[in-house]
Structure 1
Amino acid sequence: MRNQAASPASERRSEKVSSLVAREIVRDIAARGLGPGDTLEPESEMMQRYQVARASLREALRILEVHGLIRMKPGPGGGPVVSDVDSREFGRTMTLFLQAKGIRFSELVEARLIIEPLAARLAATRHDPADNDDLRRIVQEGLDAEGDAQWLAASNAFHAKVMSMAGNGLIDLFARALKDIFTERASSVYVARRRGHVRRTHAEIADAIIDGDADVAEELMRAHMEEYVRTVGRREPQLMGEIVDWR
């Protein structure tokens, strides 16, 4: 009986088809305005839409699932469901390449020291005034926070809000992903120490952004980030020399 195993060449062709179909699915999701929680068509309809065999379609969906763009809902009425585009998923994919390139945490931190002050400057320059009340609310939540969990949530929300107010979706996504990668490894920093100082700093940065003072907003954010890096360096000196690992 002839060996039915696929040759390396045919496997490469199959992978090529699945990659192309994955791109088509992403384009269709964007073109149709589908959002988190929306369900894609049943498998039989997708096979017809993309003119592809079941194996290649399933591999295409698996590619998107691995990258966090869809999730597979089990059971009757299940199937591929659009996921929320999350900076954590983007960061998880990024760490694969960072580890392969031998990027160290010190380099990641340097990138954050460039991007986040720039985001604060852009937020002060071009933010939508409708966001001011939301920024004030987040700062107040930080002032009122009790316990580590509430404080960390409020602090993360503050940085995320500033980055979103910069008005550049790519900077927002990239900066959040870098923050997610780093804080996952250094989550204990600032939980119990100098919390009052950080609260005041967040409030000052928010005031500068709301007032449209780009120079002050950038300067304050840079000083804030530099202090954070120094604190990490003292408490976790080994971290900065480590290579970012894929998680």
Structure 2
Amino acid sequence: MSSRVAREIVRDIAARGLGVGDTLEPESEMMQRYQVARASLREALRILEVHGLIRMKPGPGGGPIVSEVDSVEFGRMMTLFLQAKGIQFNELVEARLIIEPLAARLAAARHDPEDKEVLRRIVQDGLDAEGDEQWLAASNAFHATVLSMSGNGLIDLFARAMKEIFTERASAVYVARRRGHVRRTHSDIADAIIAGDADVAEDLMRAHMEEYARTVARREPQLMEEIVDWR
């Protein structure tokens, strides 16, 4: 019963166009809407809270509030299943090596003028970045932009989640120290995407991701053989 009610709540959130920060009805109204007892409703809300779809605001005027559905929460949920299946980090990296070059190909094939300008600004942000923190933010934004330009929401969500899982555990300092080389690589990939050259965009992204994977494997070999843990 609680799982059924949870699915109905999700459908209603989408159908009513509720966004981040919107509050759902009071408990009494939800019990009436879904024709369910208080215990089953609260269990349904707990299911959605655990999956990061809502959060419970305490106190007067509180209640279930719609959360942002993002790759971080999706990645956290995914790690539960990855650990249960014994998936290692080298398998996670291999999956990224397949998906991100494909996303670059799709971005080049499906780009539009607005996407071009966004990508140009992101690349320029990387060129102008000073310090490791600013540079890493620009680098992450570049990959996120390419994924979003793929035009495929599932590829975008899945690839971002895998990136979140991996980069949360791998040190990024040594990558930041190589930012001159990575800047040029990002610029070349962006040029290929903007030009609509899908083959070149895919090849450059694959080479970029393979180089990154080799660097991590060399610097943190123990990580690659570890099982992805649930966090």
So what's the TM-score if we normalise by structure 2?
0.98
- Cα deviation 1:44-92 (Å, max 9, x = unaligned): 1001000111111111001001100001112221111111111010000
In structure 2, give the amino acid aligned to 1:52. V
Structure 1 gap segments, 5+ residues each:
1-16
Q: Select the structure of larger CA radius of gyration.
A: 1
In the alignment, structure 1 residue 28 sits paired with structure 2 residue 12? yes
The match for 1:154 is 138
Task: Report matched runs for 1:35-54 at 5 Å.
Answer: 35-54=19-38
Q: Which residue is equivalent to 1:5?
A: none
Name the amino acid aligned to 1:140. Answer: Q
Q: Aligned AA for 1:71? A: R
TM alignment of 1:167-186, pairs within 5 A: 167-186=151-170
Q: Is 1:203–2:187 an aligned residue pair? A: yes
Report Cα offsets for 1:90-109 as digits up to 9, x if no partner.
00000000000000001000
Corresponding residue number in structure 1 for 2:177: 193
Matched, 1:142 2:102: no
Q: Give the aligned residue type for 1:222.
A: R
CA contact (8 A) 2:55 2:65 kept: yes
Q: How many residues align?
A: 231
Q: 1:224 aligns with which of 208, 213, 218?
A: 208
Aligned to 1:107: 91
Q: Which amino acid aligns with 2:226?
A: E
Tell me how far 1:188 sits from its aligned partner. Answer: 2.3
**Match for residue 88 of structure 1?**
72
Residue 51 (structure 2) aligns with: 67
- Is residue 22–residue 64 contact of structure 1 (8 Å, CA) maintained in 2? yes
Residues 36 and 118 from structure 1, CA distance in 2 versus in 1: closer, same or farther, beyond 3 angstroms?
Answer: same
8 Å Cα contact 2:108/2:196 also seen in 1: yes
Structure 1 counterpart SS, 2:55 = strand
Instruction: Mark the CA change 1:185 to 1:89 in structure 2 (over 3 Å): closer, same or farther.
Output: same
Does the residue aligned with 2:72 lie in a helix, a strand or coil?
helix
Could you tell me how far 1:190 is from its partner in structure 2? 3.9
Query: Secondary structure, in 3 states, of the residue corresponding to 1:187?
Result: coil
Are 1:133 and 2:117 matched, yes or no? yes
Secondary structure (helix, strand or coil) at the match of 1:238 reads helix
TM-score (norm 1): 0.92
SS in 1 for 2:221: coil
Displacement of 1:149: 1.2
CA RMSD of aligned residues (A): 0.9
- Mapped partners of 1:155, 1:190: distance in 2: 13
Question: Matches of 2:168 and 2:183 in 1, distance apart?
Answer: 21
- Contact 1:126 1:167 survives alignment (8 Å): yes
